[in-house]
Structure 1
Amino acid sequence: MKIINTALLSYGMSGKVFHAPFINLHEGFHLLGAWERSKKLIQDAYPGTRSYASLDELLAYDAVELVVVNTPTYTHYEYTKRALEAGKHVVVEKAFTSTVAEAEELKMLAEKQGKKLAVYQNRRWDSDFLTVKKVIESGKLGDIKEMEIHFDRYNLDLSYKTHKEEPNSGSGIVKDLGPHAIDQALHLFGMPQAVFADIRTIRPVSVVDDCFDILLYYPTLHVRIKATLIAKEPVPAYIIHGTNGSFLKSRADIQEGILLQGAKPGSADWGTEPESEQGTLNYLANGETIREKVQSEQGNYFEFYKGVYTALAEDKPMPVTADDGIRVMQIIEAAFKSQAEKRVIEL
C-alpha cells in the first residue's frame, strides 16, 4: 500500500478533532507532525510525530507529501500557495479562501504543479445531512420546491478564537458557518441562478457579521440558508417541502461533540445519532398520507480522508474539489454584494 506522509499546519482544535484522528486511523497515511507555534502537544498525542517550529521548516522537509492547511481563513491563500509551490498536495479548511480570485488562482497553481487540492467540507458526512440526502434521493417528496438549511447556535459571548471575531478578510459567520450550509446546498442541487442575502451584526459585543439569511434561486426551487448566534431554542436544521411531501430533521450529528471529548473514530457505531433525533417524513402514497420517523444514517468524517487517499494513490478526483470550493466562494461573494447593493445578484 502506498503511504502518504502528511503534516498539519496547526494542532489546535481542528487538528486535534477533525484531522489527526482520521489521518491516523487510515493505514495509508503517516502523520509526520504539525507546525506548532507555542504549545508542543502533537508528540504527546501521537508518539513519533514531529513538531515543526516554522512553516519554512515543514515545507522544506522532502518527506512531507500532503499538507493540511487548518489555520485561520485569512491565511489559507498564502499557506496553500506556499505548500503547492513547495510541491505538496494540499487539503485546505473552509472557507477555501477570502475571495473567488484567490480560489481560482490556487486551482490553476495546483494544476500547473501537478498537485491535488481539496477543500475540507466534513459536513457532507454529517449523519443529519446524509439522512436528508437519502430522503431526497428516495423520491418520496416529489419535486423539491422549498428547502431551508439552518446552522443556528446560541452564544452571546465572543469566541476565544479572535481571528473569527476581529475584522479581517476571513472573519464573520458567513465565512465560518456559511461554507458548511452553502456546500450542502450546492452538493444537492448545483449552482443557483441568483442569490439574495441579508447579512447582519446582531450581538451587542460583535464587530463582525454574526447572522445571515441567504436565498438561492433555482428555476423551480428556492433554498434558504440561515445561521445565527442567538438561537436559544433551535428550529429544525433541515426543512424540505416537495410536491408530494415534507421532511424535517434536526442537526444532531454527534461526531464533533464526542471528538472534543477525546473519542477516537473507527468503532462500528461511530456517528450514530440518538433515536430521539430521527427526522419526520410526511408524504402521500397511493392517495394516503403517511407520517413516519426516518432512521438516521451514520455520519463518518473518515470518508473524506478515504477519498483523499484514493485521489492521491490512484490519481482520482478529490472528494471535495477546488471547483467545489470556488463555487462556494462565488455564493459568498454574491451574498456580500447583495447585502451591499440591496438586490438580487444574478450568477
Structure 2
Amino acid sequence: MNTTDLPDTAAPTVAQSTPLHVALIGYGGAGRIFHAPLISGVPGLQLDAIVSSQTDAVQKDWPGVRSVADVQVVLDDPMIDLVVIATPNASHFGLAQAALQAGKHVVVDKPCTVTLAETEALLALAQTQGRVLTVFQNRRFDSDFLALQQVIQSSALGRLVEVNSHFDRYRPTVPVRWREQNVPGSGLWFDLGPHLLDQALVLFGAPDGIHLDRASLRDGAQVNDWFHAVLRYDTRHAGLRVVLHASTLVAELGPRWAVHGVHGSFTKFGLDGQEDGLKQGARPGMVPSGEWGQDTQPGEVLSWKTIPGVAAPVSVRTRVGGVAGNYLAYYAQLRDHLQGRATQALVTPDQVLAVMQWLTLGEQSALEGRWLSA
C-alpha cells in the first residue's frame, strides 16, 4: 500500500471549544502507566471510559471515569470521539477495525499491528471512514531525543557517519506476561523496535537497507530479548550507519546515544525519566509548569575546532542540557488536529506505514540472515 496520495489525517470533527471524549481500551502496563495519566493531563481531552476487566483498579485510580468490561459499550456511545487501544499487540487489528467502523478516531499503542498487511488494511479503512488512525510514538518526546535533534540541527558534528541508539536494561528474570511468550507480536524487537525505528526515520528518513540480528539470551526466554539492527544510508546520507540496539542483560549501562560526525561526537547517558515518573504514580498534568520531564544527565558534544593562530585543531567540550521531555505533547498535537488547529496528527499515515514496513523487513532480515531493502 502507498499512502503518499492520502491526506495525512481526516478532517477535524470536533469544535475547538468542545472537549474530545476519549475511551481507553486496556488497563495493563501501557494503559495504566502511560495513556490514562497523559490523556487526563491534556486540557481539551476528557477521559470518559476505561474498558478493562480490572474494574476495582480503574475505580480506585480514576473514580470519576466509567469502568466498563465490554468494548461494544464505548463503540456504541455517540459521545466517544477517540478510542485509544492499549492491549496486547495481537488484538490491535480487530479492536482498531471495530473502532474505525464505529466512526471513532483511533490511537493504537505501538506497534500498530503484528503484520504489515493488517496495518495497510487499517490505513485504508481509516481513509474510507474519514477518521484518524495513528500510533502512539511518545519517544519522539524523550529529553535525550530532543537534545539530539538540537545537536544535529546545529551542525556541530559536521556530516554524520555513525549513530548508535541503545535502549538497554538489566532484567535477568523473565517476567510472566504476554510480551515474553511465544505469541504474535511478542519479543523485544516488536516492543522497542518500533520506537527506535521511528526515531531513526524521523531523523534521517528511509534507509537503503536493514540488517537485523536477534537472540534469546536469558534463561527461560521464549522470545527475542536482544537485538542489533543496522540501517544503511548510502544514498541519502553519504554512507551513514545507524545502529539500533536493545538488550535485557546490561547491568552496566553505556551511552543512550553515541553519535559521531566528521567534526566531533555527541554522547548522552541515561534514559528519559518520564516513564519512571509515571510508574511511580506521577500525573504530569498536575506537575508545576517547567518541572515535568527535566533531564538530570545532560549530554556532551566533543568537537574539534580551528583556532586562529593555533596550528592544529583543538578539542572543545560543550554540555547539552536543558531540554525537557514532554509526552503530553503527543496528545496535545492530536487534540489540536481534531479540533482544527493543526493540519495533521503528529504520526501521519505514511509514518505509521513506514515503521511497520521496516519492522517487517527487519524481522525478515533476521530470519534470512542478510541485508534487505524496501
Corresponding pairs, count: 344
Residue in 1 that maps onto 2:298 = 278
Identity fraction in percent: 38
Distance in 2 between residues matched to 1:6 and 1:65, nearest whole Å:
6
Q: Which amino acid aligns with 1:114?
A: G
Secondary structure of 2:339's counterpart equals helix
Residue in 2 that maps onto 1:22 = 38
Distance in 2 between residues matched to 1:322 and 1:128, nearest whole Å:
25
Residue in 2 that maps onto 1:112 = 128
Distance in 1 between residues matched to 2:343 and 2:59, nearest whole Å:
32
Distance in 2 between residues matched to 1:62 and 1:41, nearest whole Å:
26
Distance in 2 between residues matched to 1:336 and 1:263, nearest whole Å:
36
By how many angstroms is 1:285 displaced? 2.9
- Check the 8 A contact 2:55/2:67 in 1, yes or no: no
Residue in 2 that maps onto 1:212 = 227
By how many angstroms is 1:234 displaced? 0.8
Normalised to the residue count of structure 1, the TM-score between the two structures is 0.96
- Match among 315, 319, 322 for residue 346 of structure 2: 319
Aligned CA RMSD, in angstroms, stands at: 1.3
- Match among 290, 302, 320 for residue 316 of structure 2: 290
By how many angstroms is 1:47 displaced? 3.0
By how many angstroms is 1:280 displaced? 1.7
Distance in 1 between residues matched to 2:367 and 2:33, nearest whole Å:
36
By how many angstroms is 1:46 displaced? 2.7
Residue in 2 that maps onto 1:269 = 291
- Check the 8 A contact 2:295/2:321 in 1, yes or no: no
By how many angstroms is 1:216 displaced? 0.4
Return 5+ residue gaps in structure 1 as ranges.
none
- Match among 330, 335, 353 for residue 304 of structure 1: 330
- Check the 8 A contact 1:83/1:89 in 2, yes or no: yes
By how many angstroms is 1:324 displaced? 1.3
1:112-142 deviation per Cα after TM superposition (whole angstroms, max 9, x unaligned): 0000111001011011111111111111000
Distance in 1 between residues matched to 2:64 and 2:317, nearest whole Å:
54
Larger mean Cα displacement after TM superposition, 116-125 or 55-64: 55-64
Return 5+ residue gaps in structure 2 as ranges.
1-16, 307-312
By how many angstroms is 1:335 displaced? 1.2
- Check the 8 A contact 1:279/1:296 in 2, yes or no: no
Q: Which amino acid aligns with 2:229?
A: I
By how many angstroms is 1:44 displaced? 2.9
Residues 269 and 38 (structure 1), Cα distance of their counterparts in 2 relative to 1, 3 Å cut: closer
Residue in 1 that maps onto 2:54 = 38
Distance in 2 between residues matched to 1:75 and 1:296, nearest whole Å:
39
Residue in 2 that maps onto 1:95 = 111
By how many angstroms is 1:248 displaced? 0.6
By how many angstroms is 1:296 displaced? 4.0
Secondary structure of 2:284's counterpart equals coil
